[in-house]
Structure 1
Amino acid sequence: MLNFLGLYVFDRGIAVYSGSVIDVFGRVDVSEEAVRSTLTRMTSRGLLTKHRNGRKVYFGLTPRATDVLRDGERRIWQKGAVNRDWDGTWTLVGFSLPEGRRGERHDLRSRLQWAGFGPVQNGLWIAPGTRDVAEVVDSLDLAENVTVFTAQHAKPTEAADLARRAFDTDAIAARYQDFLARWRDPSEAGPDDLARQLLLHADWLDLVRQDPHLPAELLAGDWPAIEAEQLFQSLATRYVKTATPLAEAAIESIEIPAG
């Protein structure tokens, strides 16, 4: 759903008719019940707003959803598949939460993972480069439980060893290989190019969300993310031309006031 909103609602000042969303998602075998449930859940979480026009209900983006989609756009189009500008520093986050606060600990770990951190040992997570952790911590009200600092590794610790300990590079590489295997021949990925576009973007965003964006110098020379990124960009460019007319025919929308 986020990919659909990013492709056809983000930065357009519109709200889309729920029935047309259901029709579009039917192309990727998502049921009407699942679409309605997702729209309702996203509305209750402050990501979508409802707009009525006659008997029809339309959904638009909230500022929070716009921020989420802008972050997704940055991850997809600006960061690149690997980090080629690493200066040798690491951001370290240390935390300690008692067993009774297991839920908060889980939320913190999830946010850190989303931000590109990995656990080097119990209660100590790292990410290459300088990262802004304040937003992650402040949103969970855990500032007093977290210590954040930047540092460089020193002997006998090697950077490549840190990367392997904190991040499962074999699993990351395998996910990119799976992407390549699926999308080298996209003809069977969906019934038409609109469906393929949605699935392609969903697959790719899922990959980059799980990728800590490790420095190129710490990765194998044949790191599959590079080829996968080239394939994604090629297909995404193709589908802008072929899927957009299908989307315009399928999606009913209304303009909504700015702000």
Structure 2
Amino acid sequence: MGAEPPHRPDPPPRPQTLMLTFLGNYVVRRDIAVFSGSFIEVFGRLGVGEHAIRSTLGRMARRGLLARHRRGRRMYFGLTARSERILLDGEARVWRRGAVNADWDGRWTVLAFSMPESWQRQRHDLRSRLVWAGFGPLGNGIWIAPSRVDVGEVIAPGGQDHGLGGRVKVFHGTAEEPTDVGRMIRDAFDLEALAGGYRAFLERWDRPDPIPGAPDDLARFLWMMTEWLSLVRVDPRLPVEHLPSGWPAFRAQEVLHGLRLRYEVSARAIAEEVIEYVHVGCPAVTPPG
């Protein structure tokens, strides 16, 4: 590396994204609910205030992402089937699939949809789910994603298709001549924005002492994993042979794995010390492939 850029004391990620990172690392698969005061203590390490945490817990409960469990005068929050599914998918994206697609089979998933103009909310929701699933728009309601994508959850989240089933068509196949695959990728995906996200991650974390103001490894680990998950959430894992040379996701993923080894054990020990929880039942969820 050349001269180290100056550290910018940027604010930490939003409370809800931090919350999902915390739940994905310390709650998922454990069938526990965490005391509200423990959330306040953990996120206080990152400068998130009590009011913001309580508001986030309430909002996530109303959206079906957290379940309330009262024990006497204390309130505990655990996962729902929906949040468990989201967290397991995020885990698979980070640690099993990764950000670098070096084994693409040359196939694409093509999805086309048509909706009435009055369906603005349904169109917005579908587009958000398509981005999460790795699709990019080619125009006129046509979206593409590299490799074969199971679009069941995209079309019918939670098993409810909201009338979309008859308005969506899905195809799988290869691009044929005279298609310019590189140009198609540049048209459908914002490569500069994707690369910029990884460069920002490297600027913050590819240094001897990332986040020097953080109080401990739990704060660093939660911040790092939240930032990384925000990147892979919008990264469609485009095939490396069609990406610009020096694609920053390569180095960023190396840094992530190195810092995981540096922070994870200490962070978990701190988390186990400060988390107060009770055991609860949780609906069975099938992990994503």
What is the root-mean-square deviation in Å for CA atoms of aligned residues?
Answer: 1.4
Asked if the contact 1:128–1:215 (Cα under 8 Å) also holds between the matched residues in 2, the reply is yes
2:176 corresponds to which of 119, 134, 154? 154
TM-score (normalised: structure 1): 0.95
Q: Note if 1:94 corresponds to 2:144.
A: no
2:56 equivalent in structure 1 = 38
2:166 equivalent in structure 1 = 144
Q: What percent identity do the matched residue pairs reach?
A: 52
Q: How many residues align structurally?
A: 259
Give the secondary-structure state (helix, strand or coil) at the position aligned to 2:118.
helix
Moved over 4 A (4+): none
Task: Please give the alpha-carbon distance, in whole angstroms, between the structure 1 residues aligned to 2:34 and 2:60.
Answer: 14
Structure 1 residue 29: deviation in Å? 1.4
1:82 equivalent in structure 2 = 100
1:219 equivalent in structure 2 = 243
Whose helix proportion is higher, 1 or 2?
1
Task: Please give the alpha-carbon distance, in whole angstroms, between the structure 2 residues aligned to 1:76 and 1:132.
Answer: 18
2:135 corresponds to which of 117, 120, 142? 117
Structure 2 vs 1, CA of residues 135 and 244 (structure 1 numbering), >3 Å: closer, same or farther?
A: closer
Matches within 5 A, 1:133-212: 133-139=151-157, 140-141=161-162, 142-185=164-207, 186-188=210-212, 190-212=214-236
Task: Please give the alpha-carbon distance, in whole angstroms, between the structure 1 residues aligned to 2:96 and 2:47.
Answer: 31
Asked if the contact 2:204–2:211 (Cα under 8 Å) also holds between the matched residues in 1, the reply is no
Asked if the contact 2:195–2:249 (Cα under 8 Å) also holds between the matched residues in 1, the reply is yes
TM-score (normalised: structure 2): 0.86
2:68 equivalent in structure 1 = 50
Give the secondary-structure state (helix, strand or coil) at the position aligned to 1:97.
coil
Task: Please give the alpha-carbon distance, in whole angstroms, between the structure 1 residues aligned to 2:69 and 2:270.
Answer: 24
Give the secondary-structure state (helix, strand or coil) at the position aligned to 1:188.
coil
Task: Please give the alpha-carbon distance, in whole angstroms, between the structure 2 residues aligned to 1:230 and 1:125.
Answer: 30
Asked if the contact 1:43–1:50 (Cα under 8 Å) also holds between the matched residues in 2, the reply is yes
Structure 1 residue 97: deviation in Å? 1.5
Give the secondary-structure state (helix, strand or coil) at the position aligned to 2:97.
coil
Give the secondary-structure state (helix, strand or coil) at the position aligned to 2:156.
helix
Gaps of 5+ in 1: none
Task: Please give the alpha-carbon distance, in whole angstroms, between the structure 2 residues aligned to 1:45 and 1:148.
Answer: 29
Asked if the contact 2:79–2:282 (Cα under 8 Å) also holds between the matched residues in 1, the reply is no
Give the secondary-structure state (helix, strand or coil) at the position aligned to 1:180.
helix
